[in-house]
A = this chain, B = another copy of it.
Amino acid sequence: MSGLYLEDYAVGQRFTSASRTVDTEAITTFARQYDPQPFHLDDDAARATIFSGLAASGWHTAVLTIGLLLESDFVPASGIVGAGFDEFRWPQPVRPGDTLHAECEILEVRESRSRPGQGLIKVKTTTLNQKGEPVLFFIGNLMVPGRPA
């Protein structure tokens, strides 16, 4: 697996992913398996809900974002291993036909106190649709390996 080591990250660095379009089939396939609620499954059923039409599961938006990051220059050498988030918001839903990309900014880079050779980076990530509207925002804490000696 290629990718970056702790020493390659610096505060203020920015990364932008490629774009991907989400269709109805992808939205309902995810929902049927993992978040089977009416507003994620069927446009008619969704019209009567707070979403006023079919909307992707927020977890689908999250994994779409991780998929975009895994194919980007941002990816750490050991993959994307998250410890958690300081903030995590879905400002608005993803709709069928939306084209998403993710933008990251490195907020913090530090060595792990408990695991020698490992580090932690804090990354602000925003996933945007084709209108430039944010559909996911998070500040995530990722584990990143130090460069082997």
Contacts and interface: CB of A to CB of B under 8 A. Distances in A.
Contact of A66 (B35, B83, B143): B35
Interface string A42-73: 00000001110000011100110011001000
- Candidate in A39, A63, A70 with the most chain B CB atoms within 10 angstroms: A63
B63 A82 contact: no
B34 A80 contact: no
Interface in A84-102: 84-90
A86 B88 CA distance: 7
A81 interface: yes
B38 A1 contact: yes
A83 B90 contact: yes
A82 B93 CA distance: 11
Contact of A34 (B39, B67, B85, B118): B67
Query: How many of chain A's residues touch chain B, expressed as a range?
Result: 35 or more
A80 B50 CA distance: 11
Contacts of A87: 84-86
Nearest to A62: B59
A88 B80 contact: no
Contacts of A78: 49-50
A16 to B, nearest CB: 21
30 contacts: A1-B38, A30-B34, A34-B63, A34-B66, A34-B67, A35-B63, A35-B66, A35-B67, A37-B70, A37-B79, A37-B80, A39-B79, A49-B78, A49-B79, A50-B78, A50-B81, A50-B118, A50-B143, A59-B62, A82-B90, A83-B89, A83-B90, A84-B87, A84-B88, A84-B89, A84-B90, A85-B85, A85-B88, A86-B87, A88-B88
